[in-house]
Amino acid sequence: MKEVFKGTVEVPSKVILFGEHAVVEGYGAISMAVDLKTRGRIFESEKDIVINLRDLGRSLTLNIEDIPTLNLRNYNSSVKYVLCAIKSIVNYLKDRGYEDFKPFKLDISSDIPVSCGLGSSASVVATTIKSFLSANTISIPKKELCKICFSVEREVQGKASITDTATVIYNSVLKIKNSNDFEVLEGTKLYKLLKGCHFLVVHVERRKKKTAELVKEVAEHPRKEEIFRSIGEIVNKVEEVSTWEELGDLMVKNHKLLRELGVSTSKIDKVVELGSRYGYGAKLSGAGGGGVVIILTDEDRREGLLESLRELEVLDVFECKVGVKSEIKRDKK
């Protein structure tokens, strides 16, 4: 029998444009949604909720009645984000009087490389929850959606920041004030400047250390307070920049401070140098120890940059702009 398609949910990924690591100690950071996406394609189902994780080659079949009491310990870690997301949204809605949820089939796929600082898990969690809501024709405020997704990340990881979930859900540019508070910068001078920028997100190399290890090492750095203050000053300056040259210059300055913290690598430094030579500026994004670099490109010198990146044998290169408004596309029938 032919599957009945109901719609597609798309959720972006994120980069930290300024302020990683210092934000852990209460300094500000600037995060930005970019149009590398996770997609959830929704189909009708006769009985159960069936979730196909295309990139993992895994499939889950869930009896709707069993979802509120799912024991995540019985499942492989690779599927816990999705299962915890489904369980959390079902219990959230049941607590508010919703019953009789509809069965559906969900195919999840993603453009986003995992474990490299792009918020892949937050994007998958948000896609799963938004797909469930769409399949049941239920709408909740973004603020509530953000809380639920954050709670999922925290439950699965043990510890989490609001940064990833808030950025991918609001699909915009955010100023992170601390681990639980943020401001959406849409309509600001910085937002308008970033909307006109062209970025490359370069997956340089696989990370050799987990975020928790890197954060612990940074916490023991003898000059961390001095470096964090300097990063905080850059975050405060960036909201007033008006040109790509100024923006790129601050990116490079932020990267140099992260290098002083010891979270960069020689290959990341080479990519940042290329981004500065052929573009307006570049920096690592995320915890470091491998992962990604974001480059603010000069379109006139883009081909030279891409050729140099190929010669350096980076893992992948993605052309990105600030998150585009592509939330839920429903079947028009």
> Which domains are seen in the chain, by residue range?
5-185 (3.30.230.10), 189-320 (3.30.70.890)
Give the contacts of 164 (CB within 8 A, at least 6 positions apart): 14, 119, 121, 122, 153
Give the model's pLDDT for residue 208: 85
Q: Are 32 and 294 in contact (CB under 8 A)?
A: no
Helices (H) and strands (E) counted in the chain, each on its own, are: 10, 12
CB atoms within 10 A of CB 49: 22
Give the model's pLDDT for residue 327: 46
- Average pLDDT, integer, range 53-58: 92
| pLDDT surpasses 60 at 27 | yes
Give the model's pLDDT for residue 251: 98
| pLDDT surpasses 70 at 105 | yes
Residue 239: HSE in the Cβ half-sphere, 13 Å Cα cutoff = 19
Least confident of 145-149, 194-198, 322-326: 322-326
CB atoms within 10 A of CB 299: 9
Give the pLDDT confidence of 276-287 residue by residue, as tens digits. 999 999 999 999
- More confident: 202 or 321: 202
Catalytic residue among 111, 164, 249, 298: 164
Token pair, residue 168, equals 């991918």
Asked if 316 is an active-site residue, the reply is no
pTM score:
0.92
| pLDDT surpasses 60 at 153 | yes
Kindly indicate the confidence band of residue 215, based on its pLDDT and cuts at 50, 70 and 90.
Answer: confident
Dist CA 295 CA 200 (whole Å) = 5
Give the model's pLDDT for residue 161: 79
- What is the CA angle 320-313-212, rounded to 5? 70
Token pair, residue 216, equals 């612990």
- Average pLDDT, integer, range 293-303: 96
| pLDDT surpasses 60 at 59 | yes
- Average pLDDT, integer, range 35-57: 94
Give the model's pLDDT for residue 78: 86
Q: What phi, psi does 297 have (nearest 5°)?
A: -85, 150
- More confident: 312 or 328: 312
Give the model's pLDDT for residue 325: 52
- The chain-wide mean pLDDT, for the chain, equals 93
Give the model's pLDDT for residue 268: 98
